[in-house]
Structure 1
């Protein structure tokens, strides 16, 4: 008769599996369905299936041979996390046919190869018993391939994370989430590298000590389900949704937003629009040929300032340049303020004090 009893630790792992499945459903089917949620929800789901597979393999003798059902899609971990970050980075990105190639190794090895090999072993138990070390070696090699692949995707994730321009305000919070994801990945990789090395060295005794590998690995996967799953569902999914909504509102990628930002600054600085005392948000938008709401959102979300403060900053910078010129003495301070675009002495002094913390007169005296 099949022994399906669970020890205390495996019982807790089973609880983590159930919660992981529920978390994945809640993440994927939130009110605002989006691709980052889909990829991350599937990642949590596969974490749960992998944990269930390891737990059953540890609890039920000959489980893989008796139930040759693919459950442990570890080669899909990296691609799912990678595509999650690609969609977070660029919410306007459309999925391509080539994206499916990232999941081909998992379908081939985790799915088809696993099913065929386990079915064969189940039907040929005598051969399996005679070639235990060979089977363990092949399994360990597959795990090693998984570690290499996971390391490669961790590098790709880091590269995407590092290359993403911090254009919008929300990206600082999004960056925190991506950092957590990277750290979790690194912990998993370090453990797997150590595990594979130990198993290869002591492969003949592995059957007697496999619990020393399974239990810690199950614990790490369980912690990833809890820590990443709950933190994403409770906190970061809403942050990412807000970030995506703002990127979609502009209808530009981060790189395009960076280019638009440069156009705004060129118009103000090189075209010297700041010197116009009557410059307004509408005038600047007209100069650029943009709708006012796009320019206003660009200033608030990308440049992280408002129109008046931005214009006054350029005026004050130009004032500082003028007082260093040889013929500055023929101008009064108020005259210099008008020269750089302020409409009155009062507005000049008020803006200068707000920007620098001192008055124009105090600034000039400090230069003497």
Structure 2
């Protein structure tokens, strides 16, 4: 075996093995992004399988056997998987719905056509007349031209654009971690650029070389054969590294972007709420609710809740209880209050029951109420 071939085998093997290892780890990872990780694991394993089949062929093994045909028959699924990966990364609690199965129609069609074309071997006796018109031209288009790979590249490009559009929509309409969007965009852009290049080479090669060879076409037998698979190996290795390093990232929490006018209004409401708590100490009212606070401040209750959610990222009860807990701490710091029980001080601060006080202390400070006295 030539040194150049050995080098190529090593490159393909590194990509394939790395893809299998990362794919296995991602598939078994039990994190918040479990579905996204498993979809990426499937992509990695399919790409690795493609590389392994090619390695076998370099050693003269696996020519047109069942392993080879399985690899060919699944080549139209990569684009849909890439799109579902982006959806799983950008949609909390993502699940594949019935309507999503339409994206798997291309691979179902591919398997059906592939079986039909291979069945023509049962009737072939060496003459064109032994096959039907559909059987003959189906075989020519399917087996003697790069039809499978052109369609596969087109599907990946289509779904890469679709994924980019989805990422742009998410980025424009929701507050989202930009770093997460950035590395997902890098993966999509890599697929888009690489398979656009592959498609361009395939089309030029088909037109130029099939014309110069009087219609005879032998797929990937020229100068770009090995670079194509080396590119797949590099792509497999890289996206495996990206997915593996971020497999434990928390699931996205999408927060809808609100108009500037609304945002300013909510910020103004939050300032009024802060003044009501700090200056008027409305939190001391044990019966305080969103409705009663809205009446006192002449603000619609839903705007109070929205302001707390958008500006303070808190719920009403947590917001009020923060002031009550601080009030209890302030009362405990005063030596004149040492004669009072902790519960009576809690009631003075606005809590209306022992259980609500205990929950608030545990949530706000992470300690038990009995430990609170030692923090004076």
* TM-score after normalising by structure 2: 0.61
Asked whether 1:202 is paired with 2:201, we answer no
Asked whether 1:222 is paired with 2:233, we answer yes
Residue 248 of structure 2 aligns with which residue? 238
Residue 372 of structure 2 aligns with which residue? none
Distance 1:41 1:209 in 2: 27
Distance 1:264 1:274 in 2: 14
Residue 43 of structure 2 aligns with which residue? 43
Asked whether 1:172 is paired with 2:172, we answer no
Asked whether 1:189 is paired with 2:195, we answer yes
Distance 2:240 2:68 in 1: 28
Asked whether 1:161 is paired with 2:160, we answer no
- Shift in Å, 1:125: 8.5
Residue 81 of structure 1 aligns with which residue? 82
The answer to whether the 8 Å contact 2:43/2:81 transfers is yes
Deviation per CA, 1:92-136, whole angstroms, max 9, x where unpaired?
333211211111211321x343344346449858569x9899357
Distance 1:127 1:62 in 2: 27
- Shift in Å, 1:64: 1.6
Deviation per CA, 1:42-97, whole angstroms, max 9, x where unpaired?
11111112223344445537812575631132211111111111121111333211
The answer to whether the 8 Å contact 1:64/1:118 transfers is no
The answer to whether the 8 Å contact 1:66/1:122 transfers is no
- Shift in Å, 1:147: 2.3
- Shift in Å, 1:185: 1.3
The answer to whether the 8 Å contact 1:199/1:206 transfers is no
Deviation per CA, 1:123-175, whole angstroms, max 9, x where unpaired?
858569x9899357754123222222222112111110111136777621111
Residues paired across the two proteins, number: 283
Distance 2:175 2:282 in 1: 23
Distance 2:244 2:200 in 1: 31
The answer to whether the 8 Å contact 2:56/2:62 transfers is no
- Shift in Å, 1:217: 1.3
- Shift in Å, 1:218: 0.7
The answer to whether the 8 Å contact 1:20/1:48 transfers is yes
The answer to whether the 8 Å contact 2:12/2:51 transfers is yes
Which 5+ residue runs of structure 2 have no aligned equivalent? 295-299, 320-376
Deviation per CA, 1:227-265, whole angstroms, max 9, x where unpaired?
11112201x2233xx243xx2xxxxx54xx335998665
Residue 27 of structure 2 aligns with which residue? 28
The answer to whether the 8 Å contact 1:273/1:279 transfers is no
- Shift in Å, 1:10: 2.6
- Shift in Å, 1:208: 9.0
The answer to whether the 8 Å contact 1:78/1:150 transfers is yes
* TM-score after normalising by structure 1: 0.62
Question: Whose helix proportion is higher, 1 or 2?
Answer: 1
- Shift in Å, 1:190: 2.4
Distance 1:125 1:14 in 2: 39
Evaluate the alpha carbon distance shift between residue 195 and residue 60 of structure 1 in structure 2; reply closer, same or farther with a 3 A threshold: farther
Please say which of residues 141-150 and 119-128 is displaced more in the overlay: 119-128
Please say which of residues 136-145 and 215-224 is displaced more in the overlay: 136-145
1:74 partner SS:
coil
Structure with greater Cα Rg: 2
Residue 152 of structure 1 aligns with which residue? 158
